[in-house]
Structure 1
């Protein structure tokens, strides 16, 4: 039986939002429209705009509200960031016109922006890998930190991002006890998210959970990938982690060999 893959970020978000204890981890997400853009920018200083069906961070944009603090009469404006470019717009309506040209007829989502922690002034998030075990239970088997390339708004490897162990990224911010508590929280969240999604998609065998840690050390689920890359975990110093990842992947049919 084929492993189930789910392309729509919207459908995955709706499924996760049905679980009360997962709901606080989900940033507010809506389908893109001018009215929703106005509402979200009224509520938040930063909003991400991403394709409903898309990979590798392609097509992702970010809008930030901006005002020149040096000029007390300056009007509020909006900075649109995409790839390595930034454009400024005087109104939400003007911003919307540009966004609509970029997205065309495709379905896009709006998501509350999370202020990510940084490593050497570059933003990072965390990929958690959650897999079905040979005993048919869910387990969060691995974590890896993903650092955005300079001036990029996404952390994906295909967009120039690099990886580091989460201990290296979070160590400067947390005591060992705090790190341990956050680690346990993320592991439990991975299992909860996979269990909830598998209620709607029973042939799921693995998910990649993109997690953000904000400046208050709160955990957020940015996105769920149902065909997560496995190769980044081979770069972890603990080679036993990647061996387990491969062994589980062989057991549920993703890979043919555990070598």
Structure 2
């Protein structure tokens, strides 16, 4: 039986919102429209605009309220960032028009922006891999930190991002005991998310959970990928982690066993 994949970010978000202990980790997310963008910028001042269906961070944009550092009396404007480019718009209508030109008729979502922790002034997030075990239970088997390339708003490898162990990224911020608590919370969250999604999508065998850590060390779920890349975990120094990842993936049919 084929492994189930779910493309729509909106459908996955709706499924996870049914459980309060998971919804606390989900940034406010709505279907994109100019009215929704106006409301969310008024509330959060930073939003991400992303395709409902898509991978590798392609098509993701970021909008925020931009203030002139030189002329403090100037009216706030709106900044749109995409790829390595940015635009300044005088009003919400101009901002929306530019976004519409880029997205066309594709359905997009708008999500509360998270002020991510940084590594050498570059934003990073964390990919958690959650897999079905040979005993048919869920386990969070691996983590890897993903660092955005300079001047990029997404951390994906395909957009020039790089990877590091999460210990290297979180170590400067947390004591060993704080790190252990956060690590346990992320592991448990991975299992809860996979378990809840599998209620609606019973043929799920694996998920990639993209997690953001904000400046108060709160964990946020940015996205759930139902066909996560496995190769980045090969780069971890602890080779036993990828061995387990591979063993589980062979057991549920994602990978073929080595001959």
Q: CA deviation at 1:69?
A: 4.0
Contact 1:250/1:258 (<8 A) preserved: no
Contact 1:243/1:258 (<8 A) preserved: no
Partner of 2:171: 171
1:192 and 2:183 correspond: no
Q: Deviations over 1:105-144 (max 9, x none)?
A: 0000000000111100100000000000000000000000
> Distance between the aligned counterparts of 1:258 and 1:214, measured in 2?
40
> Distance between the aligned counterparts of 2:60 and 2:240, measured in 1?
34
> Distance between the aligned counterparts of 2:157 and 2:102, measured in 1?
23
SS of equivalent residue, structure 1 residue 21: helix
| Structure 2 alignment gaps of length 5 or more | none
> Distance between the aligned counterparts of 2:43 and 2:15, measured in 1?
24
Partner of 2:129: 129
| Structure 1 alignment gaps of length 5 or more | none
> Distance between the aligned counterparts of 2:53 and 2:11, measured in 1?
10
TM-score, normalised to structure 2's length? 0.99
> Distance between the aligned counterparts of 1:212 and 1:34, measured in 2?
26
Contact 1:246/1:258 (<8 A) preserved: no
Partner of 2:39: 39
Q: Deviations over 1:139-182 (max 9, x none)?
A: 00000000000000000000000000000000000000000000
Partner of 1:156: 156
Map 1:247-258 → 2, pairs under 5 A: 247-258=247-258
TM-score, normalised to structure 1's length? 0.99
> Distance between the aligned counterparts of 1:135 and 1:217, measured in 2?
33
1:219 and 2:227 correspond: no
Q: CA deviation at 1:68?
A: 1.8
Q: CA deviation at 1:257?
A: 1.1
SS of equivalent residue, structure 2 residue 125: strand
> Distance between the aligned counterparts of 1:258 and 1:202, measured in 2?
27
> Distance between the aligned counterparts of 2:33 and 2:45, measured in 1?
18
Contact 1:46/1:112 (<8 A) preserved: yes
Partner of 1:231: 231
Q: CA deviation at 1:203?
A: 0.2
Partner of 1:101: 101
Partner of 2:51: 51
> Distance between the aligned counterparts of 2:257 and 2:81, measured in 1?
42
> Distance between the aligned counterparts of 2:69 and 2:167, measured in 1?
37
List structure 1 runs of 4+ shifted beyond 3 angstroms: none
> Distance between the aligned counterparts of 1:43 and 1:27, measured in 2?
13
Partner of 2:202: 202
SS of equivalent residue, structure 1 residue 62: strand
Q: CA deviation at 1:72?
A: 3.2
Q: Deviations over 1:199-218 (max 9, x none)?
A: 00000000000000001100
SS of equivalent residue, structure 2 residue 163: strand
SS of equivalent residue, structure 2 residue 11: helix
> Distance between the aligned counterparts of 1:157 and 1:257, measured in 2?
26
- For the aligned residues, what is the CA RMSD? 0.8
SS of equivalent residue, structure 2 residue 57: coil
SS of equivalent residue, structure 2 residue 21: coil
Contact 1:16/1:22 (<8 A) preserved: yes
